[in-house]
Structure 1
Amino acid sequence: MKQPLRILHLEDNPVDAELVQVTLTREGIACEMLVVETRADFLAALGRAEIDLILADLTLPSFDGMSALAIVRQHYPELPFVFVSGSLGEEAAIETLKSGARDYVLKSRLARLAPAVRRALSEAEERTERRRTQEKLAQAYAEIHQRAESYQSLFNSIRDVIVVTDNQRRIVQVNQPALREVFGYESDEVVGRGTELLYADPQEYQLTGQEVFDLHNPARGRIMELRFRRRNGETFIGEMYALKRLDSSGAATGNIGMIRDINERRKAEEALRESEMRRYQLQVELHYAAEIQAKLLPRNGPDIPGFDVAARCLPAKQVGGDFFDWQEVCEGVWALTLGDVMGKGMAAAMLMATVRAAVRSVSHNHPSRALQLAEAALQHDLDNSESFVTLFMGQLHAARRRLLYVDCGHGFAFVRRRDGTVRRLLPRGLPLGVPGSKAYREGSVTLEKGDTLVLYSDGLIDARPELKLDSHLLARQLEGAASAAEMLERLIGLTEQQGPQPDDVTVLVAHCTAEQSPVPECMASGSCGSHNEPMPGTGNE
């Protein structure tokens, strides 16, 4: 992270702007702050100065942070953008992240500002470095293609140690630059002497004389690996191409040996073998990790009376941070969960296992209470990993066909009614791991025969951003499907594309197949938290 940073701060309160700069400086982030409060000044600063980071209040008298974010995303997509606001509702907080902001910090919690700035800058540097690397690779490939022929010619002209001998194997000529570099001798130290001084093993010297340098043998060239000795006594493995020296009539008058030091090549080959072995071991470990993660997810659909349920998780890498789950928390009541840990790969997979275990352990509670308990258990791990989790958790009362749920910043959930209409599932709260002052609010929805509950992760959208997927478009994909499995296949099929999958994709479908049935007396007693009627004023029906 370069310092000092040039920060454009959209803020109308000079005191708040100064407090932000003091907070960053105190945390060791030197910065030059350019404070503006109007659209015109904001645009002028963007065009005039080289900005490293944008901080913005959400609302100002004549301009707003979301409009500023839209401008930046359109014209400067790699420029990191962080909201610093005095008040930021739950809906607004989620919208800022989905609109492209890297983070948001409440003015009352400026202790989070420095980590948020460092993380935003680090992510921006990674994206910039990746783009630069791709550009350099493209340029390098073009140059290699253009110069391949000249490089090949240059390579072929490189001189190894060329030793010319007479028929007694005495050295009569040698190329001095290569001799000095490989063996450490000057030419006058070896000319007139036998080639045995170059060999490390007398037996190898004798064998090459019998098999290759015997003047009565056929004049065939041969490549061998032999041990040689330098002037200082050090030995090395060399590759020698040996052939006869012929006169104008074709008679053998001596020998020619071209010697190349292959010590470094042998070391590189050994290093490559070790690297391949480590890569293989890593692949095996990742394979086992993927197997274990797959086994953590339910293998078979739940047997919920009146419902057909199917789900699938497709990690972007061998392991991922998405998960789905279901369990019967008490008789006739099922907990349905879909979560998405920030990031992907092994780090997200490790955190995913922890989140899944924590949520399962409290799923027998009312959804809002369950997620309060889960967040309390996970808060330390989420803080240390600087991560958060979006999660949708519902308790389905099978007999009543009623779903009581909490949406923790997930937002990708809807009910498709039998007639094709779509109902969004509100309210929504903050993700697990994101500080907030309000308790999780519950919502509820009653499902009739033919209705379908759909939960999915943002990987479904990331895989096909050009389609601008929304609930209505996804709901239309379900028309005419005969089962939850077929609905699932249609939604997963939207992610089929060329190239690597950008993010983990998870989809859960619960299709209501029967009318509401009478509730047994034992289930109506309220022995399970979700059997009680939802609290009024929480967004329920």
Structure 2
Amino acid sequence: MNHFSIDDIRVLHVDDDPGFAEIVSEFLEREDDAFSVETATSVDDALVMLQDIQVDCVVSDYDMPQKDGLDFLELVRHDYPDLPFLLFTGKGSEEIASRAISAGVTDYLQKEAGTEQYTVLANRIRNAVRSARAETAVQRTEDRYHNLVDTAPIPILLFDRDWKALYANEAAIAFLDADSFTEIAGKKASDFLHPDERDAARKRFQRLMREGVSVPEREYRVMTAEGEVKTATIATAPGYYRGEQVAQAMVYR
């Protein structure tokens, strides 16, 4: 994941001790020029700042008056479900750690004596931001793929390594006489082929997944959800979906 840029990272650090908050800011910005640290001394102030500025990661203490770090985490997860959130606390326990994980904390770090902890904190922040940006890039790629394929005039289906349907566009759902993708999801490609076609199709599929190459298009007898037989030419090519290798089947009638 190192190819995702982390040249500029804005951190919001929340701690009710302004002196400690200042120390953390100084050490982080000294540790890495990419860091720009904003500070808040209460959860309410931090929530206002999140509305006013864009941050890449939140670092929060746990033991704070009125609203603690877990209260803050739950509020952040409600409005910013994918924002990296690190709990950096001097009051640690298995119960707090368990509750933090259940609430969706990105990472959990115990405050310790010495400056080495700030190097560890900086590494945790970098890793969390890198991971979040990688996931965002993958999501954007999938969104673009869906925008393109969903509106394609030809039926397109995706199958995983077990030959099970992962996705079908509207044209494919209509071609298979299904009411929705729910009728297709998880079924094997062989379920939609005439029994006499299945062995040959399976060999072609195995070659595609093994070698990662497209296989020549071929005419098949396709069985729809209603049991009707339709003749169609199917072209199959390798692809990736949600990080996994898939087979893309494009149907030409």
TM-score by length of 2: 0.54
Indicate yes or no: 2:138 matched with 1:134: no
| 2:121 pairs with 1:86 | no
Shift of 1:54: 0.5
8 A Cα contact 1:57 1:84, kept in partner: yes
Distance 1:139 1:21 in 2: 42
On the 8 A contact 2:6/2:34 being kept in 1, the answer is no
Tell me the residue number matched to 1:119.
127
Partner of 1:4: 8
Q: Which residue of 2 aligns with 1:50?
A: 54
What's the CA shift for 1:115? Answer: 2.0
Letter in 2 for 1:126: A
The partner residue of 1:72 within 66, 70, 76 is: 76
Which of 92, 111, 115 is residue 107 of structure 1 equivalent to?
Answer: 111
Question: Structure 1: any 5+ residue segments left out of the alignment?
Answer: 147-273, 281-344, 346-541
For residues 15 and 110 of structure 1, the distance between their equivalents in structure 2, rounded to whole angstroms, comes to: 15
Distance 1:275 1:49 in 2: 48
> 2:153 — aligned with what?
145
Larger RCO (CA under 8 A, 6+ residues apart): 2
Q: Secondary structure at 1:69's aligned position in 2?
A: helix
Deviations 1:501-532 (A, max 9, x none): xxxxxxxxxxxxxxxxxxxxxxxxxxxxxxxx
The equivalent residue for 2:228 is none
Q: How far apart, in 1, do the equivalents of 2:81 and 2:211 lie?
A: 38
Provide the alpha-carbon RMSD of the alignment: 2.8
Question: How many angstroms does 1:143 deviate by?
Answer: 5.4
CA distance in 1, matches of 2:33, 2:99: 28
Aligned equivalents of 2:102, 2:121: Cα separation in 1 = 19
1:118-517 to 2 correspondence within 5 Å? 118-142=126-150, 144-145=152-153, 277-278=210-211
From 9, 20, 27, give the equivalent of 1:23.
27
Structure 2 SS opposite 1:88: coil
Q: Distance in 1 between matches of 2:118 and 2:22?
A: 12
CA distance in 1, matches of 2:93, 2:150: 51
More deviation in 115-124 or 73-82?
115-124
Query: What TM-score do the two structures reach when normalised by structure 1?
Result: 0.26
**Deviation for aligned residue 1:94:** 2.4
Query: What amino acid does structure 1 have at the position aligned with 2:146?
Result: A
Unpaired runs of 5+ in structure 2?
155-206, 214-243, 245-253
What's the secondary structure of 1:61's corresponding residue?
coil
CA shift for structure 1 position 29: 4.9
Change (3 A) 1:118 1:278: farther
Q: Please, which of 34, 37, 41 is the counterpart of residue 38 of structure 2?
A: 34
Give the whole-Å Cα distance in 2 for the aligned partners of 1:29 and 1:88. Answer: 30
* 1:217-243 CA distance string (max 9 Å, x none): xxxxxxxxxxxxxxxxxxxxxxxxxxx
Contact 2:6 2:129 (C-alpha < 8 Å) held by counterparts: no
Q: Which amino acid aligns with 2:57?
A: L
| Partner-residue secondary structure (3-state), 2:153 | helix
> Secondary structure of 2:24's match?
helix
Question: In the TM superposition, what whole-angstrom CA distance separates every residue of 1:76-118 from its partner, at most 9, and x where no partner exists?
Answer: 1010000111221122122212211111122213332122112
